[in-house]
Chain A
């Protein structure tokens, strides 16, 4: 993972949800969720469709205005001592990467143009070089001048992941990232997440329990109807929860 030039520290953001609630008209997507994620944790979010996983991820990405409650961040400083909380939400956005259900990419731009655009928006230096450097490991360097519209599903997913990693995030949010990836892609994703976890980045990933990505999970949280039904930090069995989630998913 390319090191962030602004601060060469790896490390992750801590995320704190305090009574976070979001309603869409008649429906509560999240009900007073309180959750503490320490920097560097690798958390899996499981649960049936509609349980609020996507909403929770978007809330962590500061995309959602809460109906009530709040989400806050804390980051380890460069030498790992002490904590400073990022009050300015625009500043903290710099450190958050999101891989969503949609690709978040412009179909009418090339792979390179997409990455250069976001490199510039995130204020990275030498955006052109960084964009090309990000395409390499994703196996997309050969297609850098092709329009994303012409990419296969798997290639788009790889590009989406590369885009999320571009600015060297300290908090990586992934919504079922294995979707659309072939075997090689999943292997690459697993390796990438392994590197990130090793560098101390916090990872919050919604998953159905399968895939190489799940191997790095240190904690699992199960959501049901917008609330936390089970948290392996309490119950102690992250692996078991993942296996149960996989079984439930395969049954459905």
Chain B
């Protein structure tokens, strides 16, 4: 597909830029850890309560971290108007968005590789037996956050109060994904663990629908 090549090139650029400074990755990690620790004060982390509230906290923490981390996706292109350079290149503008979505997805997933085991340890949750299925939920849920988050980062970068606007727009829209991810995770931590087909379906539908909408309308966000 003609989009694959420019997406690959731009993805490499995004990853290289980020790993050179690593600021975003480290801040995200620290932020989520702080949230997880703070939340542990809000309830008794007995096993039953951990299983019930833990997943919700994890996804909330990821959501907050995501909405802070997604923001620089577009604002960092603004200082030297590098977005103009990308738009001038003979590539489909959608590939610019797609590359950023993928890059953010990689970053968040990398952060989760570190955070989820720590979270499981802090709240005494047994994730090893359900690792594969948990990974599936994490992938689908993180993808949902990245698709909508990256598009909304493009939106908020053009408005005033942009740092506040991104979480403000993002959180209500992600409601179905948040519910589905959280409940699917709760189901996996249950005894016996069960992967809810309905919630996986919701996540898959969410990802597919919004990927399609982005493909159809996303390029208009980059215009002048």
Contact = CB atoms under 8 A, between A and B. Distances in A.
Q: Do chains A and B touch in the complex (CB under 8 A)?
A: yes
Interface of A: 58, 61-65, 90-91, 93-94, 96, 98, 100-109, 113, 117-118, 120-123, 163
A62 B90 contact: no
B208 to A, nearest CB: 26
A64 B21 CA distance: 33
A47 B67 CA distance: 44
A118 to B, nearest CB: 7
Given A63-B224, A100-B81, A100-B84, A106 B90 contact: no
26 contacts: A58-B84, A61-B88, A62-B88, A63-B84, A64-B224, A65-B224, A90-B90, A90-B91, A93-B88, A93-B89, A94-B90, A98-B84, A101-B81, A104-B82, A104-B84, A104-B85, A105-B85, A106-B82, A108-B20, A108-B21, A109-B13, A109-B20, A117-B9, A120-B9, A121-B10, A122-B90
B90 A123 contact: yes
A102 B81 contact: yes
A106 B16 CA distance: 11
B54 interface: no
A116 to B, nearest CB: 9
Given A108-B17, A163-B85, 20 more contacts: A58-B224, A62-B88, A63-B84, A63-B88, A90-B91, A91-B90, A98-B84, A98-B88, A101-B81, A102-B81, A104-B80, A104-B81, A105-B85, A107-B79, A109-B13, A109-B16, A109-B20, A121-B9, A121-B10, A121-B91
A118 B85 contact: yes
B87 interface: yes
Contact of A90 (B9, B20, B92): B92
A106 B84 CA distance: 12
B80 A103 contact: yes
A101 B85 CA distance: 12
A176 to B, nearest CB: 15
Contacts of A63: 84, 87-88, 224
B191 interface: no
Interface residues of B, number: 23
Contacts of B44: none
B42 to A, nearest CB: 39
Contacts of B224: 58, 63-65
Contacts of A61: 88
Contact of A96 (B17, B21, B88): B88
Contacts of A103: 80
A73 B26 CA distance: 48
A54 B84 CA distance: 13
Nearest to A94: B90
A105 B82 contact: yes
B84 A113 contact: no
Nearest to A117: B13
Contacts of B13: 106, 109, 117
B166 to A, nearest CB: 22
Contacts of A96: 88
A93 B90 CA distance: 5
Nearest to B21: A108
Contact of B89 (A101, A106, A121): A121
Contacts of A91: 90
